[in-house]
C-alpha cells in the first residue's frame, strides 16, 4: 500500500501529477461525451470554474505557476493503448463494447483544448472554450487540480511526522464511517468523489478501504482510472450538463420546455437497463415529473441530487405509482452532500419501498474536518460548469436555489417557463 504521507512530504509532483490519465475522470463524462459526439459534435461550449465558497480566496493560496504546470500537463496526456483496450473490451453495466469504434478513434486522438486563466478578486477565472465533446473533458480534471493544489498548499508547511499523524487520523475517521455503514443489511453504495477529492492517491486509498470494509455492499467507483486499477465496476449515467446545453440551444419557449425530455429521448436511443436513470432536478423535480412523457416512467430509476432528498424521493414514488409502475422495482440513487448519518437515515426511510443506492462523494474522498487548525482542509464548493453554448447562456435552477446559476434575467425566464414556484434555500457545503 502506498505511503501517502511520505509521498506528500517528498513534494515531487512529477512522481504524482494530480491528473495522470485521460480516464482519471468520471464514467458519466465518457458516456455523455459519446452521446454528444454523436448528436452535437459541432456545438461550441464554454466551461467556467465557479467557486461557491467565496471566503476561500484560491488565487491567494495557490501559486499560478503551479496551476499552469498542472493544466499544461493534462494537455499533454493521451489515451494509452492499455486504457483504450480496457474501454473497448471491458464490460460496463453488463454490456460489451459500450463505446463505439468511431468514438474510440476520436478519443484516442484527443488532446484537450487550451485554457484561459486570469486572477480576479482573489479568485482564479479559469475558462475552457471549444467543441462540446472536447471541452467537456476538462471539467473533472480542472476540479481535481484546484482541489488538490489547495490541499498541497496547506500541507506544504507540515513536518514529516505531522503528515503521518494527519493521514493516520483521516484513515481512522473513514474506517469508523465504514464500520457504521457495515450494519446496513442491503446497502448499495459507490464512490462518487472524483471531482472534489483530496488527491488521487487518497481517493484510491478510500476505494480500497471501502472494498475491504464493505465487500459486496460497495458496488464501484465513478473514477475510470481507479476502476481499471482495482478491477471494479465503473459507475455513472448522465448529468445536468446535457439539459443545460440542450436548453441553451432552444430557439423558442416551447422548445426550451421540451429540451430536458429531448435529452432523455436521445439517451434512450443509446442505452438501456441501469443506464436509464432520470436526473430530474435541473429545472425543478416537481415540474419535471408533472410534465414528463409517460415513456419515461418505464425507465429503471432516478438520481436525487439536490434539495430535500427525502421529499424528492417521495415525489418519485408517487409519480411511479400514478403511472402504474411498481416503485419497489425502481432504483433511487441519492447523491447530494451525503455522509454516514444521512445515508443511514435515507436507507431506513426508503428500503423496501424502492431499490436504494448511494453515490458518496466529497465526505468520502475529502473529509479532513477537524484534523487541522481553522478547518484549513475543510471541503469547499467548487464547480466547473458549461456557462454558454453557441454564444447563448446556460441556466441551472436546481431544487436548491443556492445552486442556481446563469444570468438573473435568464433564471427568471426559465423559472416562468418551467413553472418553478417557491423553493427553500439549503446551505451548499460541498
**Model confidence pLDDT, tens digit, residues 279-306:** 999 999 999 999 999 999 999 999 999 9
pLDDT (average), residues 385-389: 97
Separation CA 305–CA 277 (nearest Å):
12
Give percent above pLDDT 70 in the chain: 98
pLDDT (average), residues 6-29: 87
pLDDT number for residue 358: 98
Cα-trace Rg, the chain: 21
Taking the chain, what is the end-to-end CA distance rounded to the nearest angstrom? 29
pLDDT at 374 over 90: no
- CATH numbers and ranges of domains, the chain: 4-157+383-393 (3.20.140.10), 167-365 (3.20.140.10)
Average pLDDT score over the chain? 95
Separation CA 210–CA 306 (nearest Å):
25
pLDDT at 393 over 60: yes
Read off the pLDDT band of 12 (50, 70, 90).
low
pLDDT at 429 over 60: no
Separation CA 338–CA 177 (nearest Å):
12
H helix intervals, 323-407: 340-350, 362-365
pLDDT at 14 over 70: no
Read off the pLDDT band of 9 (50, 70, 90).
confident
Read off the pLDDT band of 104 (50, 70, 90).
very high
pLDDT (average), residues 171-199: 97
pLDDT (average), residues 396-409: 92
Read off the pLDDT band of 380 (50, 70, 90).
confident
Whether the predicted model's global pTM rises above the 0.75 cut: yes
pLDDT number for residue 379: 83
pLDDT number for residue 423: 81
pLDDT at 430 over 70: no
Q: Which tens digit of pLDDT belongs to each residue from 31-49?
A: 999 999 999 999 999 999 9
C-alpha pair distances (Å), 127 with each of 47, 118, 240, 362, 395:
6, 9, 18, 23, 17
Separation CA 358–CA 393 (nearest Å):
32
Question: β-strand 331-334 against 355-360: which pairing, if any?
Answer: parallel
pLDDT number for residue 13: 58
Amino acid at each position: 500500500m502506498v505511503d501517502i504521507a511520505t509521498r506528500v512530504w517528498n513534494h515531487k509532483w512529477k512522481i504524482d501529477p494530480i491528473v495522470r490519465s485521460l480516464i482519471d475522470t468520471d464514467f458519466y463524462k465518457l458516456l455523455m461525451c459519446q452521446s454528444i459526439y454523436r448528436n452535437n459534435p459541432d456545438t461550441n461550449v464554454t466551461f467556467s470554474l465557479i467557486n461557491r465558497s467565496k471566503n476561500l480566496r484560491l488565487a491567494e493560496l495557490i501559486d499560478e505557476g503551479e496551476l499552469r504546470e498542472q493544466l499544461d500537463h493534462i494537455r499533454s496526456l493521451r489515451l494509452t493503448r492499455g486504457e483504450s483496450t480496457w474501454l473497448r473490451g471491458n464490460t460496463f453495466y453488463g454490456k460489451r463494447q459500450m463505446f463505439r469504434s468511431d468514438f474510440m478513434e476520436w478519443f484516442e486522438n484527443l488532446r484537450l483544448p487550451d485554457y484561459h486563466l486570469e486572477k480576479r478578486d482573489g479568485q482564479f477565472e479559469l475558462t475552457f472554450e471549444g467543441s462540446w465533446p472536447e471541452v467537456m473533458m476538462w471539467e473533472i480534471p480542472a476540479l481535481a487540480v484546484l482541489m488538490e493544489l489547495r490541499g498541497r498548499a496547506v500541507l506544504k508547511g507540515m513536518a514529516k511526522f505531522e503528515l503521518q499523524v494527519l493521514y493516520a487520523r483521516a484513515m481512522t475517521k473513514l474506517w469508523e464511517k465504514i464500520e457504521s455503514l457495515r450494519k446496513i443489511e442491503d446497502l448499495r453504495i459507490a464512490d462518487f468523489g472524483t471531482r472534489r477529492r483530496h488527491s488521487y492517491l487518497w481517493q484510491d486509498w478510500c476505494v480500497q478501504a471501502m472494498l475491504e470494509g464493505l465487500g459486496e455492499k460497495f458496488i464501484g467507483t465513478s473514477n475510470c482510472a481507479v476502476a481499471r486499477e482495482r478491477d471494479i465496476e465503473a459507475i455513472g449515467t448522465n448529468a445536468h450538463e446535457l439539459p443545460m446545453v440542450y436548453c441553451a440551444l432552444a430557439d423558442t419557449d416551447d422548445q426550451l420546455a421540451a429540451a430536458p425530455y429531448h435529452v432523455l429521448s436521445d439517451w434512450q436511443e443509446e442505452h438501456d437497463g441501469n443506464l436509464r436513470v432520470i436526473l430530474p432536478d435541473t429545472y425543478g423535480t416537481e415540474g419535471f415529473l408533472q410534465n414528463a412523457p409517460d415513456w419515461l416512467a418505464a425507465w429503471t430509476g432516478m438520481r436525487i441530487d439536490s434539495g430535500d432528498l427525502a421529499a424528492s424521493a417521495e415525489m418519485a414514488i408517487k409519480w411511479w405509482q400514478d403511472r402504474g409502475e411498481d416503485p419497489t422495482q425502481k432504483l433511487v440513487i441519492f447523491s447530494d452532500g451525503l455522509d454516514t448519518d444521512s445515508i443511514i437515515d435515507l436507507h431506513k426511510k426508503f428500503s423496501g419501498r424502492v431499490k436504494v443506492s448511494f453515490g458518496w462523494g466529497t465526505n468520502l474522498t475529502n473529509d479532513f474536518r477537524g484534523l487541522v487548525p481553522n478547518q484549513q482542509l475543510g471541503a469547499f464548493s467548487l464547480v466547473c460548469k458549461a456557462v454558454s453554448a453557441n454564444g447563448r447562456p446556460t441556466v441551472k435552477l436546481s431544487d436548491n436555489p443556492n445552486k442556481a446559476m446563469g444570468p438573473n434575467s435568464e433564471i427568471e425566464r426559465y423559472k416562468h417557463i418551467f413553472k418553478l414556484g417557491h423553493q427553500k434555500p439549503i446551505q451548499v457545503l460541498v
